[in-house]
Structure 1
């Protein structure tokens, strides 16, 4: 009789532990990877004063952020136009930057802020009447500080300027933000701009 009770108790404990493990496993939900693209528009001061456009690819693990970014800053000082639409004889200053950065990114609900630094390779070119008169390359140390806003939970993706929701709730979405850029180099510059992101901005 005692053996039967012990056996029953052992089996009860065994199946209870299995059931608890199954319940715990069912609570484990796969989450998305944090990866997104930013489209950036900024105004820069320094080696080339002017409007910049660019993009960056971002990947985050825990609080660690790895980023590759490209920027092009252009300032047109003079241009002739023929037939009213075709530009020619352009006087221009142009800077292109390619950077690899590492930093920290912190997320709270629908907000994330980050800071990062790294190394950059830049090309500066000055043209007069479409002829290159000055060109050089330089290495720098870029810094970046930014803040993003995005959806705090999964939502249906919206098309037509965000007016029409389609599909099921998803972790893929848009973000908006502000960024401060600095590049410390032989030809340093600084810029402030806005950014529009697309991708997975947090774990949902």
Structure 2
């Protein structure tokens, strides 16, 4: 969890630094580069909450992405207290996924849709229970990540607004926010499929 928070914080700091150098109003050659955070829930072998971050670069219709996902698995169990069994939630598996993806992205006015697939390295830690103790084991395996995205962003250049969109900064710029949905997953030894929310910053189209 700490790794996810640090990565998200670093990416957001980089994003805000770009707002200090907005693209000139007459310059229509801005690149399509954006980052996004991922908040979701997945089912499958690794069923549970998802946190992540992604860096994207688009060249024509081609989309290149680097994705980090922290996927954890929750199970329901019972703790015996006297003669009463109390339901509890336990965490017995964590996955740190590092992925490189390639796909197609189409932009229309203020929204876009895309689909991508690729390869990933997955670092897994899980608990193994015996009659006398609980041990934690580690494993690394390759996977096949995929995702489908739809997101919305501003249609034209506007002044960037900081502090939850309340305070406008600088001149009209192509840099802005985005929000959308992500259908994502990974096929491998510990497969999962999920649905989440995207919240991003960057240059989402050519203005």
CA RMSD in angstroms, aligned pairs only: 2.3
Q: Which has the higher contact order (CA 8 A, sep 6+)?
A: 2
Structure 2 segments unaligned to the other structure (5+ residues): 1-25, 79-89
Q: Tell me the distance in 2 between the aligned counterparts of 1:156 and 1:43.
A: 34
Gap change, CA 1:91 and 1:55, over 3 Å in 2: closer
Q: Tell me the distance in 2 between the aligned counterparts of 1:42 and 1:71.
A: 10
Q: Tell me the distance in 2 between the aligned counterparts of 1:168 and 1:191.
A: 39
TM-score normalised by L of structure 2 = 0.74
Displacement of 1:36 in angstroms is 0.5
Higher alpha-carbon Rg:
1
Displacement of 1:194 in angstroms is 0.2
Greater fraction helix: 1
Q: Does 1:52 align with 2:55?
A: no
SS in 2 for 1:48: coil
- Per-residue CA deviations over 1:128-171 (Å, capped at 9, x if unaligned) read 79x74332221111111000100000000001110121211000
Pairs within 5 Å for 1:114-125: 114-125=114-125
Match of 1:154 among 148, 153, 157: 157
Gap change, CA 1:173 and 1:116, over 3 Å in 2: same
Contact between 2:44 and 2:191, CA under 8 Å: does it hold in 1?
yes
Match of 2:113? 113
Contact between 2:43 and 2:194, CA under 8 Å: does it hold in 1?
yes
Displacement of 1:185 in angstroms is 1.4
Displacement of 1:93 in angstroms is 1.6
Q: Tell me the distance in 2 between the aligned counterparts of 1:151 and 1:98.
A: 30
Match of 1:182? 185
TM-score normalised by L of structure 1 = 0.75
Contact between 2:41 and 2:48, CA under 8 Å: does it hold in 1?
yes
Contact between 2:181 and 2:196, CA under 8 Å: does it hold in 1?
yes
State which drifts further: 146-155 or 185-194: 185-194
Name the count of aligned residue pairs.
167
Contact between 1:91 and 1:128, CA under 8 Å: does it hold in 2?
no
Contact between 1:125 and 1:132, CA under 8 Å: does it hold in 2?
no
